[in-house]
Copies of this chain bind each other. A is one copy, B any other.
């Protein structure tokens, strides 16, 4: 009985929110190090992230090969960290099933080096990790800075990451689940950011082109490249927010049903 009360007391003592951190740029990327720094101020932090860059891995999972997940020490912070050869989504699954002993109060993914606004969400490992958190019933946020550079300035991003993560943690008892946010921060100085704008995913896409080359053995290969085009004139989109100096917040769903087409398709006579 004494033991039981002691445990209760200990539990109360460490009753900080449990925060799972991941990304797709790899566990040593400056973006995730900035995210860990902020999260250490808000709760008990556990990092499970890819050991190498996993950009563009979307919602890929590792079925046909093996997964490693090893504890590592990268800096002097209080967080525990694990690196894996898996994708960002694998990292979330490993964290939930293998590493953590209770469901985290929050999952944060990023800070991504580069925008994940509009259609980019579907290709992004960072956002797919957040979506996987949502599927697992964890309030989840993907953070991205619209600057692809490795040495990007995360000062303004850290400011808004803390505001938004704190608000989600404070609201966590009353959040409608699944709860997933796609947060993009414009790469401009903090004092130029005009605030936070909540909106929808813009209708935009990449127009691909392939850079064709010949390898030293004479075989043709190519690199995927492309140009981002925004078809959307709306003033309620993530692209509009970013272009106008706002931090963009888009709530995300993993129900991909196109509900507006169901009635139309029900009227189709497939056998006529």
Contacts and interface: CB of A to CB of B under 8 A. Distances in A.
A264 B222 CA distance: 45
A123 B59 CA distance: 6
Contacts of A261: 176, 179, 251
Contacts of A201: 255-257
A233 interface: no
Interface in A2-52: none
B176 A61 contact: no
A90 interface: yes
Interface string A241-272: 00000000111111111110110111010110
A196 interface: yes
B90 A121 contact: no
Interface stretch (A62-70, A73-81, A184-192): A62-70
Contact of A122 (B57, B59, B224, B262): B59
Given A122-B254, A224-B93, A259-B200, A270 B163 contact: yes
Contact of A94 (B94, B210, B265): B210
A74 B213 CA distance: 26
**Top 5 A-B pairs ranked by shortest CB distance?**
A58-B59, A251-B261, A253-B258, A251-B258, A60-B60
Main secondary structure of the interface of A (DSSP, over half): mixed
Contacts of A68: 219-221
A61 B60 CA distance: 10
> Which of A61, A135, A136 lies at the interface centre, i.e. has the most chain B CB atoms within 10 A of its CB?
A61
Given A61-B123, A200-B255, 12 more contacts: A59-B128, A63-B224, A67-B222, A68-B220, A90-B224, A119-B135, A121-B256, A164-B270, A167-B268, A198-B262, A251-B258, A254-B256
A205 interface: yes
A94 to B, nearest CB: 7
